[in-house]
């Protein structure tokens, strides 16, 4: 029989966290989801870990048939890992969470209750966000939040929190999206009718370090900016029109100046350089942005798989 609740957890080099995660998670599940009508399954994706994570997960799965481990062939990133697990879910309600215990498993029943109330997507809203996450980690999240709000038109306080619950049909809809760069919280909202947030506790990373370097974050940023809207391209055109207009006015001004001061000198040259450099910079940004869209089109037309599953492990 299909379970009621599916829990999805991406794992990348989390050997220090797995034992605590498993014990806290199994406590919560035993406490809240023990009747037969509320059965559960857990799907771990091992996203190409290079430490003992996979071995530890397999050890857990050996003794517990409700645990499934999706083994990736290499590291494909958190969101691909979640998709890899989504492909395996069978529950009616799907909850995602991070393995590093920043999202307390004890909050899961609260999210599930909200879905039962009738919401399609329930996001966690991290309270007391740990600001000893480095500056490079918190600052980009703020930008991510702001941009996602704009581009998806759904107001949520916290798009970055991966402790989230979805009704199964939302997950199925997301699985139909073949584009390779998908920011799951934003994607989910584009299919949901009723979205809400519940405050959840937020802890420090229990052990290990964040798997997000600055570069991965910049990548995520581009994903968001380009996969949900054409707004950046439209802004480029608007900017082009405005600068062209300014340039034209400047030209008129210079002509007029020539008439008033026919002996006019070349003193404006350096100002002109400054202006020129500014616009050259803008052009590079514009090219980069265009290139970003074209690169993404290229990736989409190649239509390679988003990830490769080496094996799905489950005890019988």
- By beta-carbon proximity to ligand UDP, the closer residue of 14 and 158 is 14
- By beta-carbon proximity to ligand UDP, the closer residue of 53 and 152 is 53
Q: Which does 5 bind (CB under 5 to 8 A by kind): Mg ion, ligand UDP, none?
A: none
| Cα–Cα distance, 128 to 117 (Å, whole number) | 26
DSSP state of 158: -
What 3-state DSSP class applies to 94? strand
Q: Which does 120 bind (CB under 5 to 8 A by kind): ligand UDP, Mg ion, none?
A: none
| Cα–Cα distance, 114 to 197 (Å, whole number) | 9
Q: Which does 81 bind (CB under 5 to 8 A by kind): Mg ion, ligand UDP, none?
A: ligand UDP
Q: Which does 77 bind (CB under 5 to 8 A by kind): Mg ion, ligand UDP, none?
A: ligand UDP
Establish if 100 lies at the interface with Mg ion (CB under 5 A).
Answer: yes
Stretch that binds Mg ion, among 18-26, 78-86, 91-99, 141-149 (CB under 5 A): 91-99
- By beta-carbon proximity to ligand UDP, the closer residue of 47 and 120 is 47
Q: In the complex, what is the shortest distance from the CB of residue 70 to ligand UDP, in angstroms, rounded to a whole number? A: 11
Other CB atoms within 10 Å distance of the CB of residue 45: 31
Q: Are 95 and 124 in contact (CB under 8 A)?
A: no
- By beta-carbon proximity to ligand UDP, the closer residue of 77 and 124 is 77
Residue 13 zone, left/alpha/beta (φ > 0; ψ -120 to 50; rest) = left
Q: Which does 190 bind (CB under 5 to 8 A by kind): ligand UDP, Mg ion, none?
A: none
| Cα–Cα distance, 212 to 114 (Å, whole number) | 30
Strand partners, 122: 165, 196
DSSP state of 313: E
Interaction site with ligand UDP (CB under 6 A): 10-12, 14, 47, 75, 77-78, 81, 98-100, 102, 137, 205, 210-212
Binding-site size, Mg ion (CB under 5 A): 3
- By beta-carbon proximity to Mg ion, the closer residue of 27 and 130 is 130
Q: In the complex, what is the shortest distance from the CB of residue 76 to ligand UDP, in angstroms, rounded to a whole number? A: 7
Q: In the complex, what is the shortest distance from the CB of residue 217 to Mg ion, in angstroms, rounded to a whole number? A: 13
Q: Which does 78 bind (CB under 5 to 8 A by kind): Mg ion, ligand UDP, none?
A: ligand UDP
Of the candidate residues 102, 103, 141, 196, the single one contacting Mg ion (CB under 5 A): 102
Planar angle of CA 284, 287, 293, nearest 5 degrees: 145
Residue 137 zone, left/alpha/beta (φ > 0; ψ -120 to 50; rest) = alpha
DSSP state of 196: E
Q: In the complex, what is the shortest distance from the CB of residue 315 to ligand UDP, in angstroms, rounded to a whole number? A: 22
Q: State the maximum Cα–Cα separation within the chain, in Å, rounded to a whole number.
A: 94
Q: Are 108 and 40 in contact (CB under 8 A)?
A: no
| Cα–Cα distance, 97 to 104 (Å, whole number) | 9
Q: In the complex, what is the shortest distance from the CB of residue 72 to ligand UDP, in angstroms, rounded to a whole number? A: 9
Q: Are 299 and 180 in contact (CB under 8 A)?
A: yes
Q: In the complex, what is the shortest distance from the CB of residue 65 to ligand UDP, in angstroms, rounded to a whole number? A: 23
Q: In the complex, what is the shortest distance from the CB of residue 47 to ligand UDP, in angstroms, rounded to a whole number? A: 4
Among 67, 122, 71, 68, smallest CA distance to 93 is for 122
Q: In the complex, what is the shortest distance from the CB of residue 33 to Mg ion, in angstroms, rounded to a whole number? A: 24
Residue ranges that bind Mg ion, judged by CB under 5 A? 98, 100, 102
């Amino acid at each position: 029989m299909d379970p009621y609740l599916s829990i999805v957890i991406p794992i990348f080099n989390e050997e220090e966290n797995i034992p605590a995660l498993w014990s806290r998670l199994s406590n919560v599940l035993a406490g809240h989801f023990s009747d037969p009508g509320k059965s559960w399954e857990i799907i771990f994706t091992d996203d190409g870990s290079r430490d003992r994570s996979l071995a530890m997960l397999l050890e857990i799965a050996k003794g517990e048939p409700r645990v499934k481990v999706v083994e990736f062939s290499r590291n494909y990133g958190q969101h691909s890992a979640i998709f890899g697990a989504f492909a395996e879910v069978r529950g009616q309600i799907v909850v995602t969470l991070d393995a590093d215990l920043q999202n307390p498993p004890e909050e899961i029943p609260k999210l599930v209750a909200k879905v039962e109330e009738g919401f399609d997507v329930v996001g966690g809203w991290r309270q007391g966000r740990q600001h000893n996450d480095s500056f490079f980690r918190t600052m980009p999240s703020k930008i991510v939040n702001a941009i996602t709000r704009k581009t998806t038109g759904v107001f949520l306080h916290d798009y970055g929190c991966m402790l989230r619950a979805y009704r199964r049909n939302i997950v199925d809809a997301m699985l139909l999206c073949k584009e390779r760069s998908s920011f799951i919280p934003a994607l989910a909202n584009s299919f949901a009718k009723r979205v809400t947030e519940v405050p959840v506790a937020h802890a420090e990373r229990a052990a290990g370090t964040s798997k997000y370097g600055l570069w991965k974050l910049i990548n995520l940023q581009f994903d968001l900016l380009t996969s949900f809207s054409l707004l950046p391209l439209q802004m480029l055109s608007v900017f082009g029109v405005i600068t062209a207009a300014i340039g034209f006015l400047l030209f008129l001004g210079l002509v007029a100046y020539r008439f008033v001061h026919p002996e006019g000198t070349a003193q404006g040259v350096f100002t002109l350089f400054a202006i020129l450099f500014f616009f050259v910079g803008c052009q590079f940004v514009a090219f980069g942005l265009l290139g970003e869209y074209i690169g993404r089109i290229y990736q989409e037309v190649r239509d390679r798989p988003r990830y490769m599953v080496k094996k799905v492990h489950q005890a019988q």
